[in-house]
Amino acid sequence: MARFIKNRKESHGATPGSLIFIGNPKMEKSEIHLMIYNRDHLEEKQVSTVAEIPVELPEEAVLWINIYGLQNTELIAKAGERFSIHPLELEDIMNTDQRPKVTENPTNLTFFLKILQYHEDTRRVSGDQVSIILGENTVITFQEKTAHYFEPVRERIRQNKGRIRYSGADYLAYALIDTLIDGYIHCVEGVGASMEEMEKEVLNNAQKSTLEEIYRMKTNVGFIRKSVFPLKEIMLLLNKTESKLIQKKTIKFLKDLNDLATQVMEAVEIYHNMANDYLNIYHSNVGNRTNEVMKVLTIFASIFIPLTFIAGVYGTNFDNLPELHFKYAYFVMLAVMAIIAATMLYYFRKKDWF
């Protein structure tokens, strides 16, 4: 399956807002994980249905709902009905090939982002879709599969570290996006380290496997670019938003995210250019090696042209060739050939042609 776009034949011709899962199901059964917290209280549990999610919360509490598995259309529809999520946003949530973006409504802000992972064993980048919905005192995250991407945030909540337990849902959304961007940085570092290791091989000993590795790196960088570059639009919108869901004290943290996102994009662009440079260098090296081989062959061909001519002349079948009756004619011919070959080799060497 193509990495940069997924098959949409199931949704072809469907009405806008239709809940159709696009992608590869990564879980057989969906799960719902809840965290309810404030500065003094923490409750963490798993539930099976949307109906089990509590309606009333403790004072100043934040409700974090994490739904794993996006192929359960009924569950997604009930979550949308319960938390007033627009049908078009639900449709985008179930599209795992959704371009990263943010949508703003009176009741919520919805972020469509990618979770990126770099696998050192295969030197390959993979990605999952994650949707983050920020509502009043509520954050809902939709993930393709059960994973521990946001475990650092959960640990901060459990251990009451930092300001997260003393802040609202907007700060939780910021913390989740910050974790995603940290993952982007880790991916870019992994790809960059692989590319820098490959530099000597490209410059000195490029093989066929080197070309395969270059294309793998180009694919990785392209995959990261597709996921990261829309962040600039998202960060600009957040910094200008007048949504009541984001408090003024959280804006400065969002500006920090903007700086991180810019740093990631600059690094990705650098590695994208490096991958193109490596490819050009590889083709140049292959061309140079081919030229060296052709030069050697041309030198040998040039040397043998006069020798072949001499041998051809005396290989004719004419009866009247005076040199044939000369006692030392054979040795003279060999000597002449040797002198011609030596002279040409000396000339080529003096011209530094080999």
pLDDT number for residue 179: 94
pLDDT value at residue 6: 54
pLDDT exceeds 80 at position 215:
yes
Give tens-digit pLDDT for 270-284.
999 998 998 888 888
pLDDT tens, position by position, 283-312: 888 888 888 888 888 888 988 899 998 888
Tokens of 277: 């440079």
Q: Are 94 and 22 in contact (CB under 8 A)?
A: yes
Of 37, 133, 8, 38, give the one whose Cα is nearest residue 79. 133
CATH number for the domain formed by residue range(s) 293-350: 1.20.58
Q: Work out the pLDDT band at 24, boundaries 50, 70, 90.
A: confident
Position 126 pLDDT exceeds 70: yes
DSSP tag of 127: E
Between CA 85 and CA 155 the distance in angstroms is 28
Rounded Cα distance, 354 and 352, in Å: 5
Confidence at 110, pLDDT banded by 50, 70, 90: very high
pLDDT classification of 212: cutoffs 50, 70, 90: confident
Top-level class of domain 9-285: alpha beta
Q: Kindly give the pairing relationship between strand 124-135 and strand 31-37.
A: unpaired
Q: Which residue has the higher pLDDT, 26 or 261?
A: 261
pLDDT of residue 342: 92
Domain ranges of the chain: 9-285, 293-350
pLDDT of residue 313: 83
What CA–CA distance (Å, rounded) separates 327 from 1?
79
For β-strands 62-68 and 138-143, DSSP reports them as parallel
* Domains 9-285 and 293-350 fall in the same CATH topology: no
Q: Are 141 and 150 in contact (CB under 8 A)?
A: yes
pLDDT, one tens digit per residue, over 222-269 is 999 988 888 888 888 887 788 889 888 888 888 888 888 889 999 999
Q: What are phi and psi of 229, to 5 degrees?
A: -60, -35
- Place 157 in a pLDDT band, splitting at 50, 70 and 90: very high
Locus of tokens 């249905």? 49
Joined tokens for residue 156: 């901060």
- pTM of the model as a whole: 0.79
The rounded distance, in Å, linking the Cα atoms of 219 and 202 is 17
The confidence score (pLDDT) of residue 155 equals 95
Cβ–Cβ < 8 Å for 131, 66: no
Copy the structure tokens of residue 285. Answer: 């090296």
Per-residue pLDDT, averaged over 115-131, amounts to: 89
Q: With 90 as the cut, is the pLDDT of residue 329 above it? A: no
Residue 118 φ/ψ, nearest 5 degrees: -105, 125
Please give the Cα distance from 266 to 105 (Å, whole number): 31
**pLDDT: is 253 or 319 the higher one?**
253
pLDDT in tens, 38-85: 999 999 999 999 999 998 888 889 999 999 988 889 999 999 999 999
